[in-house]
């Protein structure tokens, strides 16, 4: 088998999640290539070297451009703050390398479009980290919708809420900078927008409202200096899907008690399907005429689940979803058909997010 060299940029939570996925995928699946953890880059060269040693990467770089130009690297995985996605991905594309980028794709629709078009012209493989779509239970949900188990889809009600920004005394960070992040809609809502598109399809029009609940935060921990916050803490949208369905989308990082509440209810003329990422191994289904919902539990009859466990009830977790995402990336790099959102799909998600922001600013319906 030929070797596929992996280069990872970033050593935070997402960097570690990518490293775990690249290490675990060979144990869970028979791969068409041999994975070589070629290089890791971080602006802190000492941390880069420490993480490279701990995570099994062959070498460390203190400059991401060195990693992209490293001849041993075939795939560039980007896990940095959002504003760095654009220059890194564009450089990797120009070098003819596959790009695996965390979401959201970019901090502006213009950047996302440039990335999508550059990748298409270059013909390189791209993937974006909307890893929740790789949950075997959501693959099952999509199959159920497509074969008509719910009848004609009439509504999608979706929410992604967490509480990690709920404390108004939490200090300012890069997530609070419009040019670096984009607020709750970009950070959390992008996952929800991608999920709605994956399960129900294109959105035709949106109307929305956004709010900054805490307009100032301390400049740093225990600081008396306050910095203005110019991004949304919560956003709510009404949507009309191209297939005629209607829906609601909401994102908040202020909602006490929620840690990873990516949830939806999809209703059709023949039934309703419910999901909550905090119970990611379950779907709840009510068919027309039933008295209530029945629980569908993940098990080895689902291919993605079977790669990790031969028995139901043993549960998959976040890192298994990342491993499934990486498996799709590797298959695509090997020239095999593989599901997963690429730069074009991520650009479509950014188009939807941009329309929601415009609708909130102008307080009117926006047609995509």
User: pLDDT digit string (tens) for 164-205?
Assistant: 999 999 999 888 888 887 899 999 999 999 999 999 999 999
176 and 126 housed in the same domain: no
Q: Residue 356: which of 189, 225, 201 has the closest Cα?
A: 189
Q: How do residues 46-91 score in pLDDT, each as one tens digit? A: 999 999 999 999 999 999 999 999 999 999 999 999 999 999 999 9
* pLDDT above 90: residue 34: yes
Query: Is the same domain home to 48 and 76?
Result: yes
- The CA distances from residue 359 to 178, 290, 347, 355, in Å, are 18, 39, 18, 6
Q: Give the chain's domain count.
A: 2
Q: What is the pTM of this model?
A: 0.95
Q: What confidence tier does 339 reach under pLDDT thresholds 50, 70, 90?
A: confident
Name the band, by pLDDT with cuts 50, 70 and 90, for residue 281.
very high
Provide the edge-to-edge strand list for the sheet that holds 126-128: 59-61, 34-41, 3-9, 75-78, 98-101, 126-128
Q: Which of 99, 131, 163 is the last residue of a domain?
A: 131
> Residues 282-322: pLDDT tens digits?
999 999 999 999 999 999 999 899 999 999 999 999 999 99
Residue 356 has pLDDT above 80, yes or no: yes
Pair 150, 299 in one domain: yes
Do residues 157 and 122 both lie within one domain? no
Average pLDDT of the segment spanning 274-289: 97
* Of 98, 131, 164, the domain-final residue: 131
Same domain as 95, residue 144: no
DSSP state of 54: H
Task: Tell me what percent of the residues of the chain surpass a pLDDT of 90.
Answer: 96
Give Cβ neighbours of residue 155 (< 8 Å, ≥ 6 apart): 245, 246, 247, 265, 266, 267
Domain boundary among the residues 131, 155, 184 is at 131
In a domain, 74, yes or no: yes
Do residue 153 and residue 25 come from a single domain? no
CA distance 316 to 95: 36
Provide the CATH number for the domain around residue 63: 3.40.50.720
Strand 261-268 to 271-276 pairing: antiparallel
pLDDT of residue 182: 81
Same domain for 76 and 191, yes or no, is: no
pLDDT band at 163 (very low <50, low <70, confident <90, very high): very high
> What average pLDDT does this structure show over 132-160?
98
What is the per-residue pLDDT across 212-239, written as a single tens digit (0 to 9) for each?
A: 999 999 999 989 999 999 999 999 999 9
Let me know whether 160 and 121 are in one domain. no
Whether the pLDDT of residue 124 is over 90: the answer is yes
* pLDDT of residue 1 exceeding 90: no
Q: Does residue 201 lie within any of the structural domains?
A: yes
Contacts of 67 (CB under 8 A, 6+ apart): 7, 9, 39, 40, 41, 61, 73, 76
Strands 282-287 and 271-276: antiparallel
Q: What angle do CA 59, 63, 66 make, to 5 degrees?
A: 65
| Domain region containing 183 | 134-317+324-331+341-367
Least confidently predicted of 7-11, 21-25, 178-182, 198-202: 178-182
Which of 16-20, 172-176, 334-338 comes out lowest in average pLDDT?
172-176
**Does some domain include residue 269?**
yes
Answer whether residue 127 shows pLDDT above 90: yes
Task: Assess if residue 181 is contained within a domain.
Answer: yes
Residue 109 and residue 31 share a domain: yes
138 and 20, same structural domain?
no
What are the φ and ψ backbone dihedral angles of 352, each rounded to 5 degrees? -65, -45
């Amino acid at each position: 088998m030929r070797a596929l060299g992996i280069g990872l940029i970033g050593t935070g939570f997402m960097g570690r999640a990518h490293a775990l996925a690249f290490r675990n995928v060979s144990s869970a699946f028979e791969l068409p290539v041999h994975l070589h953890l070629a290089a890791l880059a971080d602006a802190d060269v000492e941390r880069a070297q420490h993480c490279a040693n701990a995570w099994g990467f062959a070498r460390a770089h203190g400059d991401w451009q060195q990693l992209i130009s490293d001849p041993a690297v075939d795939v560039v995985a980007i896990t940095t703050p959002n504003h760095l996605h654009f220059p890194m991905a564009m450089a990797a594309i120009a070098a003819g390398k596959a790009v695996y980028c965390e979401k959201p794709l970019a901090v502006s629709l213009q950047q996302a479009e440039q990335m999508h078009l550059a990748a298409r012209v270059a013909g390189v493989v791209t993937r974006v980290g909307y890893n929740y779509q790789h949950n075997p239970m959501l693959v099952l949900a999509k199959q159920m919708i497509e074969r008509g188990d719910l009848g004609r889809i009439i509504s999608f009600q979706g929410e992604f809420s967490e509480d990690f920004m709920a404390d108004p005394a939490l200090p300012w960070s890069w997530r609070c900078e419009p040019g670096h992040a984009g607020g709750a809609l970009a950070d959390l809502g992008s996952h929800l927008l991608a999920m709605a598109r994956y399960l129900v399809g294109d959105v035709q029009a949106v109307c929305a409202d956004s709010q900054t609940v805490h307009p100032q935060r301390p400049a740093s921990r225990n600081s008396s200096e306050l910095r203005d916050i110019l991004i949304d803490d919560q956003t709510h949208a009404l949507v009309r899907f191209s297939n005629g369905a209607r829906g609601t989308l909401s994102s908040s990082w202020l909602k006490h008690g929620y840690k990873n509440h990516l949830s939806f209810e999809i209703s059709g003329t023949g039934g309703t399907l419910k999901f909550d990422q905090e119970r990611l191994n379950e779907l709840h289904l009510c068919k027309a005429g039933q008295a209530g919902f029945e629980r569908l539990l993940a098990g080895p009859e689902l291919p993605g689940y079977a790669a990790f466990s031969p028995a139901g009830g043993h549960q998959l977790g976040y890192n298994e979803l990342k491993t499934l995402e990486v498996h799709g990336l590797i298959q695509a790099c090997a020239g095999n058909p593989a599901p997963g959102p690429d730069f074009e799909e991520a650009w479509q998600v950014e188009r939807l997010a941009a329309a929601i922001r415009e609708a909130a600013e102008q307080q009117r319906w926006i047609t995509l």
